Amino acid sequence: MSVLNSRVGRRIGAIAAAGALLVSAGCGGATVNGAGGSTPAAAGSSAASSGGSSGGSSAAGSAAASGSAPAACGSFNLAMNDWVSYTADAAVVSYVATNSLGCKVNQKALKEQIAWQGFPTGQIDVILENWGHDDLFKKYITDEKVAVDAGLTGNVGQIGWFVPPWLAAKYPDITDYNNLNKYADMFKTSESGDKGQLLDGDASFVSNDQALVKNLNLNYKVVNGGSETALIQSFRSAEKNKTPMIGYFYSPQWFLSEVKLVKVALPPYTKGCDAVPAKVACDYPEDKLNKIVSAKFANSGSPAAALVKKFNWTNDDQNLVAKYITADKMTPAAAAKKWVDANKAKVDAWLAK
Amino acid sequence: MATGLVERPAAPPIGPPGGPPRRALSVGTLILLGTLAVWLLGRVVFANRFTLPLAQADLSPLHTNLNGFNDWVDANRNTNPLFLYFFNEIRQVVDATGTFFTHLISKTDVGLGIPQIGWLGTLILLTWVAFWLANGKMAVLTAVVFFFIGLQGLWPDAMDTLALVISAVLFALLVGIPLGIWAGTSDRFNKIVTPILDFMQILPSFAYLAPLALVFLIGPAAAIICTIIFAAPPAIRITAHGIRQVPATTREAVDSLGVGRGQRLRGVLLPMAKRTIVIGINQTIMAALSMVTIASLIGAPGLGLTVNQALQTLDVGTAFNGGLAIVLIAITLDRVSTAASLRAEIAARAGGHSRNVRWIVIGVGFVITVVAVLLSRTYLWAAQFPRATLPDVGTPISDAATSASDWLTTNLAGFTSGLKNGFTSAILNPFESLLTGTPFFIRGLVLVVLGAHPPPPPPPAGVVACLAIMVYLGVWQDAMSTLAATIVATIVVTMLGIVFGVWMGRSKTTDRILRPILDAGQTMPAFVYLVPFLALFGATRFTAIIAAVVYAAPASIKIIADGISQVSTNTVEAATSAGSTSWQLITKVQLPMSAKALALAVNQGLIYVLSMVVIGALVGAGGLGYDVVAGLSQRDLFGKGLAAGLTLVVMGIILDRITQAAARRSLGDSISPMIARKQQTPLG
C-alpha cells in the first residue's frame, strides 16, 4: 500500500513539475520576441537581458528597420490560391505592401471557393487572381454585396486544347480541329476505349469539353485527369517520350516556359456562343483576370486597398516571377524582390496617390 | 435471381464452429454461382439499360437542394441560436486552443514571431516527455528525429503541424474516451454510435471541407475540427473494445462484491482496459497526422502546406523532403506511444531499484528542460533553428529524390505502359463493364444475396435500405465504376498482404526491415509518390489503383504478419518435426491458423482502398471521387459532391458488413468491428 502511495506521489510530483514548466514558459523572464518592438516595455527589458548575445541584438536591428515604415496600413488577409501564377501576384503585392506601406499581410492558403466564403466574415480581404466564377460573383458581389470587383490584373487567361510541340511539328495540320478525327486513333488510351482521348484537368477548372466533343462531332472521349499535377505530368511525359497526347490547358502557366505547348484552333469565339453550356461549339473566351476584395476592405481607406486596386501587370511580368519561383527555385519573397527592384517604375505607379 | 431469394430462408443456418463445413460450403457455393449466372444473364439481356447514368455536369433535384445549404449558413450565422450558442462557442474554444499551441511552439503574432518556447526548449521538452512516458531509447529517437527535421530546414513547419496534431488529438481524446467508455458499457449506445463512426471515417473529407469552413470559418478551428472528425473514431472504438474485452468472469466477480457502477468502472474496467486505450490514443495520433495535407487546403500551415506548394510546381524533391518529415514524426509518435503502452507492464515487473534510477533521471531531465526552455526564451540561437550554421540535409534529400524520380520515369516508361494497358484491358475494363452495364436492381440483388447468405446479420433489409439510399443519392453509375476499381485494388492488396505478411511473420529480420517502409507507405502524402507514377502510367484508373494499393497494402501486410507470428511456436515446431516442408508449414498450418487475421486483412484492405477513392480521382480514376472533388471546387456541384460522398459511405458500410459476414462465415465466430478497425489510419 505504501509503495503504491509513493508511486502516486511521484506521479503527482511529475505532473506538478510539468505544470511549473508551462508556467515558467508563459510568464518567466524576458522573451526574445520583446525585441520586435511591438511592446515598448518588453523591448526595454529584453534588450537588457539579451544584449550580451549577438543574435539578440541583430534581431532587434532588423525589426527596427522594418518598423520605420508608416504604420497607417494595418493588416489585411490575402487568400493564397493554389497555383503558381497566383503565388507570383501575391508575392509581389505582399512584398510591396510590407516594404513600401508597412502593412502586415496575413497570407492564407485556401482553395478558391473557400476563399470566397471568407468575404462575408471578414476573414478574407483580397483575392488577387480570379478566373471567372460567375456563380460566386453573383452570390457574393451582386446579391450579398459583401465583396467588390477591384479591376483587372492585366493578365489575360486563355483556356484551350493543346498538343505537345513535337506532335505539332510532325503533323502540322493537327492544330486545326477539323483534322482531329483523322488522328483520333493515335490518341487512343486504356481509358478512352476505341475513341481518342482528350485529357481534362482539375475538377475546379471551367470546361466545355464534353459539349465541344459532341457538338463538333469529334471521335474523342473526355477523360478526367483530375488535377493540374496529372495534366502537367502527362504533357511532360508526352513531350519527353514523344507519345501523342491532346488535352485541356491554359495560359498563363509556368509549365509553358518549360514545354511550349501548341494550341489547337477551335471555331473562333464570338460573344454569346457559349451561352448555353450544352450547345457550346466554339473556343473558350479570353479570361480577363480580375481582383476581388471585400467591401469592407475596399471602403477602409487603407493604402493597401489602393495598392490592390492599382495593381496591374502583363503576362510577361507574371511569367517572369513564376519562372523565378519554379525554374530558379527562389522563394516567392525573393522572386518578388528581384522583380520589384528591376521594375521600379511599374511599382511606383501602383503606389502613386 | 428469384431462386436466390426464395431459397434463402430455406437455406440451412450455418452450424456452430464444429458443424459440417463441407455441406454449408456447397450450398453457399451453389447460391453464389446461381447469383453470378443471373448477373451475367442480366448484363446480356438488359445490355446497358436501367444503369442510372448521370452526365458529369448534370444534377438530380436532390443535388440542387443540397446546394441551398451554403446560403442558409450565410444567412443564419449571426442570428440562429444554433450558431450563437453552439457552433460559435465550439469555434472559440477550439480556436483558442489551437492558437495557444501555435504560440507555444511555432510562432507568435508579435515582433519576430518567435514562439514562447524556441526550438531548443521544444526539442529537449519533447525528449523529456518521451523519456517520462516511454523509455530512454524512445527519448533518443525523439531527439534525433526532431533535430534531423531541423536540419531538413523544416523546423517551423513541423512545429505548426505538431501544434495542429496536439490540439486535434487533445479534443479527440477529450470527447472520444468518455464516449468510448459509454459505448463499452452500453450495448444500445454502441449500436447507435457504430454507424456514426463509420460515417466519420469513410466520408471523404473533401466532401465536408467547404461546409466546415463555412460553419467554423477559415482558421485553426476548421482545420482542427476536420482533423478531429477523422481522428476521434479510433479512440472511441478501441476504448469501447478495451472495456468490452474485460472477461465476463471478472465483471461478475466484482459485481458479486456489490460495488457501484462508478467504482466498478474506475477500479476494475478502466485499469484492465488501460493498455488497449493507449493503442486507441496511438491510432488517433496516426489518423490526425494523416490529415495534415487535407487541412492545408483550408488554411492550416505546416508540413502539409509545404508538400502541397511544392507539388504546384511538380517539385518532387521538396515535396519528398516535407513528406519524409511527416513520416518521421508519425513513426516517432507511433513508437513512443506504443512503448508507453508497454511500459506500464514492464514497470510493474521491474524492481524498486530501477524505478528509483528512472525517477532520478526524470528529475535531472526536468532541470535540463527548464534550463533549455529559459535559454530558448533568451537567446535567438536557441529560439530559431540556426539553419545557417548547421549543415543542410534538406537540399541533398530533395536533390536525391528528384534524380531518383527522373531516373525511374526515364528508364521504365516503355515497360510500364504495356503493363498498364494489359492490366486495364484484360482485367479492369471487363469487370467495370460488368458492374456499370448491369441494371441497378440486379446489381443490388447480388449484394443482398452476398450479404445475406447465410443469415443472420447483416439483415437483408439493411442492405436493401442501403441500396435504396444509393439509388436515391443519384450517382449510381459513378458508384459502380468506383466499386469495380475498389474490388480490383482490394484483391491486389490481399495478395500482397499474404505474400509479404507471411514473409514478415516468419522472419523477425524481414519484419524489422520492412516495417518502417510500410509506415512510410501509410503516412507519406500520396502525391509525393504519385508524380512519378503519373509519369509512368499516365492519368489513368491504373495509377489510381496503384495509389490505393501503396496505401492499403501496409495495413493488410501488418495484420497478416501479426497473425502469422502469433501462431504458437509449439504448433510450428510440432509440424516441422513431423517433416513438413516450409511450403506445407505455410499452407497447412500457419495460414489456416491465422484465418481470423486474413479475414481482418481483407476487411481493412477494403476500407483503406475506399479511403483513397478521392486521391485516386486526382490522378485519373473518375467515378465517385471525381464528383466529390468537383463538389469542393464548384459551387453548383456542391450538392452532387456531397451525395457522392454519402454514396461512398453507404457503399463502404455495405462492403464492410459483407466482408465481416464472410469472415464470420468462414470462422464460425464473430469478429468485432472494433478490432476490425483497430489499425485504421486512412489519408482521407
Interface of B with A in 213-242 (CB under 8 A): 213-214, 217-219
Strand stretches in chain A, DSSP E = 75-80, 104-109, 126-130, 147-163, 196-202, 220-226, 246-251, 262-264, 286-294
Contacts of residue A53 in chain B, CB cutoff 8 Å? 378-381
Sorting pLDDT into bands at 50, 70 and 90, what band is A151?
A: very high
Q: What is the C-alpha to C-alpha distance for residues B189 and B179, in angstroms, rounded to an integer?
A: 9
A33 part of contact set with chain B, CB < 8 Å: yes
The tens digit of pLDDT for each residue in A301-346 reads 899 999 999 999 998 899 999 999 988 888 899 999 999 999 999 9
Q: Which of B104, B311, B626 sits opposite A224 (nearest CB)?
A: B626
Instruction: Please return the burial class of B187, using the count of CB atoms within 10 Å of its CB with bins 0-12, 13-18 and 19+.
Output: exposed
CB atoms within 10 A of CB A141: 17
Contacts of residue A124 in chain B, CB cutoff 8 Å? 218
pLDDT above 80 (res A250): yes
Q: What is the pLDDT of residue B12?
A: 34
User: How far away is chain B from the Cα of A226, in angstroms, using its nearest Cα?
Assistant: 4
Q: What is the C-alpha to C-alpha distance for residues B610 and B551, in angstroms, rounded to an integer?
A: 11
pLDDT above 50 (res A347): yes
Q: Give yes or no for a contact between B641 and B633, defined as CB atoms under 8 angstroms apart.
A: no
Once rounded to an integer, what is the mean pLDDT over residues A76-83?
A: 90
Q: Which of B301, B380, B530 sits opposite A59 (nearest CB)?
A: B380
Q: What is the pLDDT of residue B672?
A: 40
How many beta-carbon pairs under 8 angstroms link A with B? 242
* Partner-chain contact B380 A120, CB within 8 Å: no
pLDDT above 70 (res B320): yes
Q: What is the C-alpha to C-alpha distance for residues A109 and B294, in angstroms, rounded to an integer?
A: 12
Interface of A with B in 64-123 (CB under 8 A): 82-84, 87, 108-114, 117-118, 120-121, 123
* Partner-chain contact A112 B296, CB within 8 Å: no
Q: What is the pLDDT of residue B247?
A: 79
Contacts of residue A38 in chain B, CB cutoff 8 Å? 110-111
Cell of residue B64, nine digits: 440542387
Contacts 24+ apart (CB under 8 A), B455-460: B455/B8, B455/B9, B455/B11, B455/B13, B457/B657, B457/B661, B458/B657, B458/B658, B458/B660, B458/B661, B460/B8
Q: Which comes out higher in pLDDT, residue B587 or B24?
A: B587
Once rounded to an integer, what is the mean pLDDT over residues B349-364?
A: 76
* Partner-chain contact B635 A109, CB within 8 Å: no
Once rounded to an integer, what is the mean pLDDT over residues B472-490?
A: 84
* Partner-chain contact A24 B296, CB within 8 Å: no
* Partner-chain contact B425 A227, CB within 8 Å: no
CB atoms within 10 A of CB B20: 11
Q: Which comes out higher in pLDDT, residue B267 or B294?
A: B294
Q: What integer best gives the mean pLDDT of chain A?
A: 80
Q: What is the pLDDT of residue B194?
A: 85
Q: What is the C-alpha to C-alpha distance for residues B31 and B451, in angstroms, rounded to an integer?
A: 12
Q: Which comes out higher in pLDDT, residue B281 or B355?
A: B281
A242 part of contact set with chain B, CB < 8 Å: no
* Partner-chain contact A114 B424, CB within 8 Å: no
Q: What is the pLDDT of residue B201?
A: 81
Cell of residue B642, nine digits: 456531397
pLDDT above 90 (res B432): no
Q: Which of B108, B366, B378 sits opposite A30 (nearest CB)?
A: B378
Q: What is the pLDDT of residue B47?
A: 52
The tens digit of pLDDT for each residue in B290-309 reads 888 888 888 888 999 999 88
Minimum CA–CA partner of B541 in chain A:
A191
B487 part of contact set with chain A, CB < 8 Å: no
Q: What is the C-alpha to C-alpha distance for residues A127 and A83, in angstroms, rounded to an integer?
A: 13
Residue type, B109: D
Cell of residue A141, nine digits: 458581389
The tens digit of pLDDT for each residue in A273-312 reads 888 878 889 999 888 899 999 999 999 889 999 999 999 9
Sorting pLDDT into bands at 50, 70 and 90, what band is B26?
A: low
A223 part of contact set with chain B, CB < 8 Å: yes
pLDDT above 60 (res A104): yes
Q: What is the pLDDT of residue B666?
A: 59
Contacts of residue B121 in chain A, CB cutoff 8 Å? 25
Q: What is the C-alpha to C-alpha distance for residues B299 and B553, in angstroms, rounded to an integer?
A: 31
DSSP B350: S
* Partner-chain contact B620 A26, CB within 8 Å: no
pLDDT above 70 (res B452): no
Q: Look at A27-31, A81-85, B97-101 and tell me which has the smallest mean pLDDT.
A: A27-31
Q: Which comes out higher in pLDDT, residue B600 or A334?
A: A334
Once rounded to an integer, what is the mean pLDDT over residues B463-473?
A: 74
CB under 8 Å to A55, separation ≥6 — which residues? B379, B380, B381
The tens digit of pLDDT for each residue in B161-193 reads 999 999 999 999 999 999 999 998 888 998 889
Q: Which of A25, A230, A241 sits opposite B539 (nearest CB)?
A: A230
Contacts of residue A325 in chain B, CB cutoff 8 Å? 313
Name which of A200, A160, A87 is nearest B618 in CA terms: A200
Q: Which of B104, B366, B383 sits opposite A25 (nearest CB)?
A: B104
Sorting pLDDT into bands at 50, 70 and 90, what band is B58?
A: low
pLDDT above 80 (res B359): yes
On the CB side of B589, CA atoms within 13 Å amount to 22
pLDDT above 90 (res B341): no
The tens digit of pLDDT for each residue in B646-673 reads 888 888 888 887 777 776 665 544 334 3
* Partner-chain contact A55 B380, CB within 8 Å: yes
The tens digit of pLDDT for each residue in A155-197 reads 998 899 999 999 999 999 999 999 999 999 999 988 888 899 9
Q: What is the C-alpha to C-alpha distance for residues B379 and B492, in angstroms, rounded to an integer?
A: 55
- The three-class DSSP label of residue A153 is strand
Q: Which comes out higher in pLDDT, residue B277 or A171?
A: A171
A254 part of contact set with chain B, CB < 8 Å: yes
Q: What is the pLDDT of residue A44?
A: 34
Q: Give yes or no for a contact between B31 and B10, defined as CB atoms under 8 angstroms apart.
A: no
User: How far away is chain B from the Cα of A172, in angstroms, using its nearest Cα?
Assistant: 25
Contacts of residue A28 in chain B, CB cutoff 8 Å? 374, 377
Residue type, B495: M
The residue behind cell 524498486 is B352
Contacts of residue A328 in chain B, CB cutoff 8 Å? none
Q: Which of A56, A204, A225 sits opposite B620 (nearest CB)?
A: A225
Contacts of residue B372 in chain A, CB cutoff 8 Å? none
* Partner-chain contact B619 A124, CB within 8 Å: no
Interface of B with A in 377-436 (CB under 8 A): 377-381, 383, 409-410, 413, 420-421, 424-425, 429
DSSP A198: E
Q: What is the pLDDT of residue B462?
A: 67
pLDDT above 50 (res B67): yes
Q: What percent of chain B has pLDDT over 70?
A: 80
Task: Please confirm whether the linkage preceding A303 is cis (ω < 30° from 0).
Answer: no
Q: How many residues does chain A have?
A: 353
Q: What is the C-alpha to C-alpha distance for residues A226 and A199, in angstroms, rounded to an integer?
A: 9
Minimum CA–CA partner of A253 in chain B:
B313
Contacts of residue B100 in chain A, CB cutoff 8 Å? none
Sorting pLDDT into bands at 50, 70 and 90, what band is B440?
A: low
Contacts of residue A82 in chain B, CB cutoff 8 Å? 297, 308-309, 312
The rounded Cα A149 to chain-centroid distance in angstroms is 18
Q: What is the pLDDT of residue B218?
A: 84
Once rounded to an integer, what is the mean pLDDT over residues B624-633?
A: 83
Q: What is the pLDDT of residue B608?
A: 84
Q: What is the pLDDT of residue B31?
A: 63
* Partner-chain contact A33 B111, CB within 8 Å: yes
Q: Which of A30, A36, A325 sits opposite B110 (nearest CB)?
A: A36
Minimum CA–CA partner of B634 in chain A:
A204
Pairing state of beta strands A75-80 and A104-109? parallel
Interface of A with B in 45-64 (CB under 8 A): 49-50, 53, 55-56, 58-59, 63
Q: Give yes or no for a contact between A282 and A273, defined as CB atoms under 8 angstroms apart.
A: yes
